[in-house]
C-alpha cells in the first residue's frame, strides 16, 4: 500500500514544506543538519534492501547484464546530452539534471519491475552492479559533458568528502548488517521491515528539503518547472531505448520490462548528498533532483500501464475445436 501511495505522500510532504515556509519565513533556516540526518537514514534503509549477495548472480545472465550496462551507461548519457539543450540555461539547474539522470536507480526500480510484470530477481541482481558502476562513471560523465576544468571546480575536495561520508557510512553499515543477518538467516525479514520505512523517510527528506530550500523555489519556480518537459521526454526516450535493446539482445518479455524500469528510474536520493554539499549558489540543483523524483514517481504509474503493451506477453495458441 505504501508503494502505491508513495507519490501522493511525497507530493503532500513537499507541498506542506512549502506552505510552512510561506507562512513562517525563516522556519527552514538551520535545518541542514536535520536534512543530512534524515537523508543518511533514508540511504541506510535503501542500501539495506539491496541484495549484495546477489551480485554474483548478475553474471549468470550476461545478455541482460550487458544490455542493462549499455543502456544505462552508454545510451542514457547520449539521450541526456540530446535533451540537455532543452533545459533552462541555469548552471545549477543543468548540473542537477546531470547529477540525477546519470545515476540509475538501485532500489525502487526493483519494486516497480515486480509490479510491472518484470523479472524482479534479475533486477535485484543488477542493483549492486549498477551502484558500483555509477559511482565510477559519474565523474567521467561530468568531465565529458561539462569539461574537466568545470568539473574539478564543482567537485571540490569538500564536496567530495561530504558526499562520500554521507553515502559511505550508510552503505558500509548496510553491507555489514546484511552479512550479520545472513548468518542468522534473517535477511529477508529485515529487508521487508526496511521497505516499510522507506516511504515515511522519503517523505520526511523531501518535506525538510522543500522547507529548507523554499527561497530557491519561490525565487526560481518558473525555471525549476522548466525541467519537467526534459524529465518527461527522458521517460519516453528511456522506454524507447529499452524496447530497442530488448530486441537487439533478444531478451525475454520479463527482462525487457525490467530493462525499461532500470533505464527509466534514477538514483535521486543517492546523488542528493553531492547536491547538498555544493556551494550555496548551486543549491537549486537540490530542488531539481527532488522534482525529478516526483516526476519519476508519476511516470512510473504510467510505466506500469504502458509496459505490458510495449512488451506484450506472447499469446497462447488457441486450441483447435474438435469435431463432435
pLDDT digits (tens, 9 = 90+) for 178-210: 777 777 777 667 777 777 788 888 888 888 888
What fold, for 2-310? Na+/H+ antiporter like fold (1.20.1530)
pTM of the model: 0.84
Percent of the chain with pLDDT over 90: 25
pLDDT at 3: 67
265 pLDDT exceeds 60?
yes
129 alpha-carbon distance from chain centroid:
15
Q: What is the mean pLDDT of residues 240-251?
A: 95
Domain boundaries, the chain: 2-310
Bigger pLDDT: 291 vs 167: 291
The residues near 104 (Cβ < 8 Å, ≥ 6 apart) are 72, 76, 130, 134, 262, 263, 265, 266, 267
Q: Out of 23-32, 52-61, 76-85, 221-230, which region has the weakest mean confidence (pLDDT)?
A: 52-61
Contact in structure between 97 and 288 (CB atoms under 8 Å) = yes
302 pLDDT exceeds 70?
yes
Give the C-alpha separation, 138 to 73, whole Å: 10
Left (φ > 0), alpha (ψ -120 to 50) or beta: where does 112 sit? alpha
pLDDT at 153: 58
pLDDT in tens, 212-242: 777 777 776 778 888 999 999 999 999 999 9
Give the C-alpha separation, 145 to 80, whole Å: 10
pLDDT in tens, 103-147: 998 877 888 888 889 888 888 888 888 888 888 888 888 888 877
Q: How confident is the model at residue 323 (pLDDT cuts 50, 70, 90)?
A: very low
DSSP letter (8 states) at residue 104:
B
pLDDT at 271: 85
Rg (CA), the chain: 20
pLDDT at 60: 76
Find where cell 509496459 sits.
307
Strand, helix or coil at 266?
A: strand
Within 13 A of 213's CA, how many CA atoms are on the CB side? 28
C-alpha cell at 248: 537487439
C-alpha cell at 282: 548551486
Maximum average pLDDT range among 133-137, 162-166, 316-320: 133-137
Q: How confident is the model at residue 58 (pLDDT cuts 50, 70, 90)?
A: low
Within 13 A of 172's CA, how many CA atoms are on the CB side? 6
Q: Nearest 5°: phi and psi at 25?
A: -55, 140
Q: Out of 30-34, 51-55, 163-167, 234-238, which region has the weakest mean confidence (pLDDT)?
A: 51-55
Percent helix, strand, coil in the chain, to 5, is: 80, 0, 20
Q: How confident is the model at residue 31 (pLDDT cuts 50, 70, 90)?
A: confident
The residues near 241 (Cβ < 8 Å, ≥ 6 apart) are 71, 75, 76, 79, 263
Left (φ > 0), alpha (ψ -120 to 50) or beta: where does 117 sit? left
pLDDT at 148: 67
Give the C-alpha separation, 66 to 178, whole Å: 27
Q: Out of 57-61, 67-71, 177-181, which region has the weakest mean confidence (pLDDT)?
A: 57-61
Q: How confident is the model at residue 244 (pLDDT cuts 50, 70, 90)?
A: very high
Q: What is the mean pLDDT of residues 65-93?
A: 93
As a whole number, the mean pLDDT across the chain is 83
Give the C-alpha separation, 6 to 85, whole Å: 31
Contact in structure between 256 and 243 (CB atoms under 8 Å) = yes
Give the C-alpha separation, 308 to 37, whole Å: 39
Within 13 A of 39's CA, how many CA atoms are on the CB side? 28
DSSP 113-135: HHHTT--HHHHHHHHHHHHHHHH
Give the C-alpha separation, 19 to 22, whole Å: 5
The residues near 195 (Cβ < 8 Å, ≥ 6 apart) are 45, 49, 111
3-state secondary structure 211-232: HHCHHHHHHHHHHHHCCHHHHH
Percent of the chain with pLDDT over 70: 87
pLDDT in tens, 38-50: 888 888 887 877 7
pLDDT at 107: 75
Amino acid at each position: 500500500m505504501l508503494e502505491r501511495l508513495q507519490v501522493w505522500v511525497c507530493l503532500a510532504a513537499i507541498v506542506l514544506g512549502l506552505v510552512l515556509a510561506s507562512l513562517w519565513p525563516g522556519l527552514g533556516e538551520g535545518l541542514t543538519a536535520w536534512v543530512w540526518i534524515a537523508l543518511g537514514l533514508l540511504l541506510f534503509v535503501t542500501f539495506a534492501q539491496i541484495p549484495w549477495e546477489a551480485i554474483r548472480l548478475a553474471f549468470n545472465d550476461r545478455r541482460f547484464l550487458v544490455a542493462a550496462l549499455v543502456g544505462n551507461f552508454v545510451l542514457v548519457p547520449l539521450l541526456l546530452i540530446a535533451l540537455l539543450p532543452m533545459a533552462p540555461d541555469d548552471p545549477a539547474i543543468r548540473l542537477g539534471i546531470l547529477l540525477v539522470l546519470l545515476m540509475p536507480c538501485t532500489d525502487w526500480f526493483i519494486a516497480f519491475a515486480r509490479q510491472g510484470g518484470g523479472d524482479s530477481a534479475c533486477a535485484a541482481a543488477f542493483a549492486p552492479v549498477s551502484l558500483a558502476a555509477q559511482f565510477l562513471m559519474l565523474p567521467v560523465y561530468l568531465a565529458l559533458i561539462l569539461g574537466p576544468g568545470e568539473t574539478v571546480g564543482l567537485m571540490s575536495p569538500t564536496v567530495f568528502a561530504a558526499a562520500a561520508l554521507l553515502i559511505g557510512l550508510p552503505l558500509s553499515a548496510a553491507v555489514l548488517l546484511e552479512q550479520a543477518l545472513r548468518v542468522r538467516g534473517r535477511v529477508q525479514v529485515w529487508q521487508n521491515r526496511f521497505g516499510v520505512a522507506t516511504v515515511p523517510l522519503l517523505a520526511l527528506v523531501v518535506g525538510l528539503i522543500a522547507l529548507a530550500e523554499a527561497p530557491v523555489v519561490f525565487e526560481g519556480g518558473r525555471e525549476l518547472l522548466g525541467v519537467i518537459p526534459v524529465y518527461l521526454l527522458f521517460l519516453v526516450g528511456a522506454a524507447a531505448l529499452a524496447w530497442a535493446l530488448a530486441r537487439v539482445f533478444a531478451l525475454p518479455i520479463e527482462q525487457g520490462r525490467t530493462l525499461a524500469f532500470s533505464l527509466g528510474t534514477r538514483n535521486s536520493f543517492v546523488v542528493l548528498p553531492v547536491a547538498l554539499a555544493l556551494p550555496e549558489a548551486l543549491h537549486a540543483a537540490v530542488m531539481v533532483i527532488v522534482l525529478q523524483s516526483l516526476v519519476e514517481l508519476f511516470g512510473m504509474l504510467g510505466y506500469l500501464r504502458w509496459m505490458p503493451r510495449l512488451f506484450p506477453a506472447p499469446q497462447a495458441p488457441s486450441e483447435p475445436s474438435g469435431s463432435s
